[in-house]
Structure formats: structure tokens, C-alpha cells
A and B are shown apart, each in its own frame.
Chain A
Amino acid sequence: MIPQTPETTTGHGDISTGVAAPTAGGDSNASATRITPGNALRPEDIALEVRTGLTKPSEDIAEYALRLGDDALILAQRLGHWISRAPELEEDVALGNIALDQLGHARSFLSYAGGAWDKSEDDLAYFRREHEFRSVQLFEQPNDDFAVTIARQFIVSYYQFELYRRLTESTDATIAAIAAKAVKEVDYHRDHSAQWILRLAGGTEESRRRMIHGLRLMWPYVNELFQDDELAQRLAEAGAAVAPSSLREDFDRLTGEVLAEAELEVPDVPAAPGGGRHGRHSEHLGYLLAEMQVLAREHPGAKW
């Protein structure tokens, strides 16, 4: 995934001015006049641990990390499409930031998952086929207009927050560490989407109509987020993961509060059949992957 984001290609040490070497990481050697990138967990750290054999996920854990990584990766690709297309420059950057947060989570999860099969994050992102992706269908749904994107963000961020919040206590140290970094970022994504739900719902007649439409378009995919299966159950019993169904109550309560404040109803729509966790996707994923993967497949190993 490295060629995709200028922000990550530059690497840790070059992000800010004044940081002399890639080794300059934390606050310990920071001065008053330079800005440091901080010393949070990075995907590169996980990749290094995996490469040096310091950590290696079990088959089950890798499969689980692949699911979460794919969710984040597909969403990042979707959100990235807003760059230069958002209604306002400020919102352009906000959605771009959220996309980069998600891409960071994806890189961490995929780097970790790849450890089980001797694959890099790029192998997993660019050289798998549609039915090998494990993301749930909500994440691949098209951006459509801004309200539709906000509806998707609203569902995703409230779901991910509940998930990551619990995963910080995972018995798998790497999953717990990735979740601990991600949960703070996703907390902001929740805030961002909730603010927009309230504003679009309480704005003009047109914005309210679009917000209701967006929620109705996305809500069929909510159910799939909370479906348990064998793998999730097995890992949940071992304490490494959480059963998706256990997140539902908090999700319903918290999203319900925001919707009530916006004077919106929880859409009464039938649930989509789902199946993304087992490689069954909606018609949209293929096109998304074609765009995301074409460059890496045309020029394998290319860097710029």
C-alpha cells in the first residue's frame, strides 16, 4: 500500500521538518522548535516484528486480522475518492484524514495477518481476488452523495468504536495494540459523522431528505456487522476477539441517541443477505478493487 499515500511513503523520519534521521521517533529527543510525528505504534513496527519472527499470528488470528484489515482498507479506498470532490475544502481534508486513519489500521492488521502466510501488506492488498476479501459489504458501498457517505461513516464509526474498545483487552497483544491506537482515531470519526448527521438532518429540506435517503440506503448492511460465525465465536471464547453480536446493543443505543436528537428514525428496511466475511460481496467491490489494484498489478514492485 505504500505507493498510495504520500503521507506514508515519506516514512516516519521525514514527516516533519527538523527530524534528522528515521531513528528520531519519540518525544524524548524532541526539541521546542521542531514538531515530531510522535511515537505511536506504526504499521512498520508490526511489519518489522513479523519479519524478524518476534511475533507470528496463529491461523485463526491471522484470518481475524484479515477481516478487520479488509474492512479498513476498502473504506479507506472509498473515502480517498472524496479528495478534491468534497463540498468544501475543509471537508475534503477531514475525509482524507479519516481515510488515512483507516489506511493505517488496514496496514497494521494486514501486516500482522501476513505473518501467518509469509505475505506482505501489499501482497494481501493488491494480489488477492475479489472472493478472497473478507470485508463486510457495508464498507464497499459506493460514496454516492455526501449524505450517503456520512450515513456509511456513521454506521462504520460507531461499530468500529465498540469493536476496538473491546479489542484493547484482547489476549493477543498485537491485536490489542492496534486496537488501542485505532480506538482514539475512530472516536473522532464518530464525532465527525454525528455532527454531520445532526446538521444535515436539521439543515434545509433538501439536506434532510438526502440524509434520510442515505441512511435508508446503508441501513440494510448494518445486520451483517453483527453476525457471528465459527471463527469469531472460537476467538471470542479464547478472549482474543469479541463476538460481533455482543456489540449490537451498544451500537443500537448510541446510534439511536444521535438519530433521536436529529429527529430521524432508525430506518425500517430489510437486511441485506451479507456474506462478505466469506468472500461473497456486492457488485461494487470488483470495480473498487480494479481501480485499487491495477497499478500494482501492471507494474509489480513499482515504487515512486
Chain B
Amino acid sequence: MSPHGNPEVPASSATEIDRDAQKVSAEPEASASTTPRPAVDSAANQPVETPAEGRNAWGLWEVFVRSSRGLSHVHAGSLHAPDAAMALRNARDLYTRRNEGVSIWVVPADAIAASDPDAKGSFFESPQGKDYRHATYYTKSEGVKHL
């Protein structure tokens, strides 16, 4: 089911609904009530109540949009939707209103594993100061052509 990935294909007919699309349970006690945000902090193991508990049982989706001149899909934001088919449509309505895109991906937010911001040091500081990993570190040896 890729109704809006191809601008040549008009909006899909209703028969294209993906009935097996991931559904979010309407039960407030179910796993849907834990925060669907990527587990970015140590408290994420605890079930965190979503706002408007019970009323809003829709899952969170992350939206990626490819612009007509862009090569890759870029994260545009997030939204709530009951399933993938509606998430695509909501994404179209929320993130392509001003002619921003020609293709949309939606991903359940809890399917994204994110790095831990508290672990920034051990994760990302190691490359700092390692100039030798950049081409500019090296001086060109004499007589080398085509560099």
C-alpha cells in the first residue's frame, strides 16, 4: 500500500486499506498507555501516562517527507493516528500543505531506537580530537598526482 508515494497515482480507493496495519489498542491499560516516544532516558522503563489518557488512544508516528528536489526523506515531525493508513493521510494533511513533498514515510515512534542523550559523552566524544580521521590532517607527499 503506497497510495501517496507516487504522485502519478491519485489518492487510493478505499479498497486499498491495509487491514493488517498496526493497530493501537483502545484499552487505556494496554501497552498503548506507555509513552510511545523513543526510549531516550532511563525512566523509559516505567510506564509513563500519555496526556488525555483514555480519550486519546492513538499511537504516535514519526513523519519523514521527501521534497521534490531532495534525495532523501527528512524528519518533519510527528502526529497521532490509529493505524498506518491514517498516519499517512494525516501526514499528508499536516506536513505537505505548502507543497513540501512528493513522498512520505510514517514510522511508529516506538519502532525507533534512539541513542541516550545522557550517554552523549561515551557515545559521541570519542571522535573529537582525532584529526587523523579527516583527509585534511594529511599533507600531500611530493610527487603524488591526482590528489
Across the two chains, which residue of chain B brings its CB closest to A17?
A: B98
Q: A90 contacts B14, CB within 8 Å?
A: no
Within 8 A of B (CB), among A170-204: 184, 187-188, 190-192, 194-195, 197-199, 204
Contact call A35/B99, Cβ cutoff below 8 A: yes
Please, which residues of chain A bring their CB within 8 A of the CB of B82?
Answer: 199
A188–B93 CA distance with the chains assembled, in angstroms: 10
A interface secondary structure, majority = helix
Encode contact with A along B48-77: 1 for CB under 8 Å, 0 otherwise.
Answer: 000000001010000000010100000000
Cβ-based interface call for A94 (8 A): yes
A90 in contact with B15 (CB, 8 Å): no
Choose, from B33-41, B83-91, B131-139, the stretch at the interface: B83-91
Specify the chain B residue showing the minimal Cβ separation from A191.
Answer: B11
Question: Using a Cβ cutoff of 8 Å, how many contacts connect chains A and B?
Answer: 64
Residues of chain A lying within 8 A (CB to CB) of residue B10 = 184, 187
Contact between A195 and B89 (Cβ–Cβ < 8 Å)?
Answer: yes
Judging by beta carbons under 8 Å apart, are A191 and B89 in contact?
Answer: yes
- Contact (Cβ within 8 A) B80 A88: yes
Kindly report which residue of chain B lies nearest to residue A97, judged by CB atoms: B93
Min CB distance, A21 to chain B, in Å? 18
In the complex formed, the residue of A with least CB distance to B56 is: A88
Query: Known: A88-B58, A195-B14, A195-B17. Is A93-B94 also a contact (CB below 8 A)?
Result: yes
B12 on the A face (CB < 8 A): yes
Task: Give the CA-CA distance A261 to B90 in the complex, in Å.
Answer: 22
Q: Chain B: interface secondary structure?
A: loop
Give min CB distance, B50 to chain A, whole Å: 13
Cross-chain contact B11 with A90 (CB below 8 angstroms): no
A3 at the interface (CB under 8 A from B): no
Taking a contact as CB atoms under 8 Å apart, the answer to whether A90 and B81 are in contact is yes
Q: Are A94 and B93 in contact (CB under 8 A)?
A: yes
B97 in the interface, Cβ–Cβ < 8 Å? yes
A190 and B79 contact, CB distance less than 8 A = no
Instruction: Please give, as numbers and ranges, the residues of chain B lying within 8 Å of A97 by CB-CB distance.
Output: 93, 97
A16 to B81, CA, bound (A): 27
Contact A261 B100 (CB under 8 A): no
**B13 located at the interface, meaning its Cβ lies under 8 Å from any Cβ of chain A in the complex:** yes
Is A188 a contact of B11 with CB atoms below 8 Å?
yes
How far does the alpha carbon of A15 sit from the alpha carbon of B99 in the complex, in Å?
10
Taking A89-B80, A261-B15 as contacts, is the C-beta distance between A192 and B94 under 8 angstroms? no
Report A97 CB to chain B, min CB distance, Å: 5
Is A32's CB within 8 Å of the partner chain B? Answer: yes
Chain B residues positioned under 8 Å from A32 (CB to CB) = 69
* A194/B14 contact (C-beta < 8 A), A15-B98, A90-B81, A199-B82 known: yes
A258 touches B80 (CB 8 A): no
B residues sitting closer than 8 Å to A (CB atoms) are: 3, 10-15, 17, 26, 56, 58, 67, 69, 79-82, 85-86, 89-90, 92-94, 97-100
25 examples of A-B residue contacts, CB within 8 angstroms: A37-B99, A88-B56, A88-B58, A89-B80, A90-B80, A90-B81, A90-B94, A91-B90, A93-B94, A93-B97, A94-B90, A97-B93, A97-B97, A188-B92, A190-B11, A191-B11, A191-B12, A191-B89, A194-B14, A195-B89, A198-B14, A199-B82, A257-B14, A258-B14, A261-B15
The 10 A-B pairs of least Cβ separation, nearest first, read: A194-B14, A191-B11, A90-B90, A94-B93, A188-B11, A32-B69, A187-B10, A38-B99, A187-B11, A258-B14
